[in-house]
Amino acid sequence: MSVEHQLKAGIAALGLSLPAGAEAKLLAYLALLDKWNRVYNLTAVRDAERMVSHHLLDSLAAVPYFQGETVLDVGSGGGLPGIPLAIARPELRVTLIDSIAKKTAFLLQAKAELGLSNLAVVTGRVEDYKPESGFDVITSRAFSDLKEFVSLTRHLLNPGGRWFAMKGLYPDEEIATLPLDVKVSADHALAVPGLEASRHLIVLETVR
């Protein structure tokens, strides 16, 4: 199956309705990621077909749960889940942050080539990041354990905001170490087309 058919079938299986031109942008992003990956080692997944399931569809599976207006993708790396999210939900303002300049160089190139006006890219450590305003949702896909994720980004979360952590198996041990004022408010088991592995979207919020 071609990557085009694989992506189309996966989007249909997820029940997503994407804006006009989104599939073409997702494929253009995939081609860009594949090209840069050969030089910059942005992702361990080398095969384009596996990239569709492991990266694009894995990120898109979480899209329906995102609410609010602003999202921060921490340790974005090759732009996951932030770039698929920005493509699928153009009304969201998505900021990608990574401390490694070669990765943010790629992210800036992707923003320019894909024409993503709702995307911002920041080079730096998240604990040092001090924007003018906070975020409704802070997400990460492979950044750190939950305790560190919360502690390094807490200053960036808007009142009433939530953390969205994309995980594999349900992280019981990590949840047990969360600060007392942070609770799991939802756990969404994600069924990712073409991916046999267990995937969970863990939603955290502060206890008010």
Residues in the chain where the model's pLDDT stays below 50: none
**Residue 167, SS3?**
strand
144: β partners:
none
- Give Cα separations from 13 to 7, 41, 155, 190 (angstroms): 10, 30, 37, 12
pLDDT of residue 60: 98
Q: Please tell me the distance from the alpha carbon of residue 202 to that of residue 33, in angstroms, as a whole number.
A: 26
pLDDT of residue 154: 97
Q: Supply the pLDDT for residue 49.
A: 83
Is 93 labeled as ligand-binding? no
**127 annotated binding-site participant:** yes
The CA distance from 103 to 92, in Å, is: 22
Cβ–Cβ under 8 Å, residues 167 and 184: no
Q: Give the total number of structural domains in the chain.
A: 1
199 annotated as belonging to a binding site for a ligand: no
Range of the domain at 94: 3-206
Give the model confidence (pLDDT) of 52-103 as tens digits: 999 999 999 999 999 999 999 999 999 999 999 999 999 999 999 999 999 9
pLDDT of residue 161: 97
If one counts every other C-beta atom within 10 angstroms of the C-beta of residue 115, the result is 10
Q: Which CATH number does the domain housing residue 65 bear?
A: 3.40.50.150
Whether 121 has a binding-site annotation, put simply, is: no
Could you give the CA distance from residue 196 to residue 41 in angstroms, rounded to a whole number? 24
Residues 6+ apart with CB under 8 A from 168: 197, 198, 199, 200
- For residue 67, which amino acid is it? Q
Instruction: Check residue 68 and give its pLDDT.
Output: 96
**Strand-pair partners of 189:** 200
Burial of 42 (0-12, 13-18, 19+ CB in 10 A): buried
Residue 4 annotated as binding site: no
pTM beyond cutoff 0.75? yes
Contact 142, 57 (CB under 8 A): no
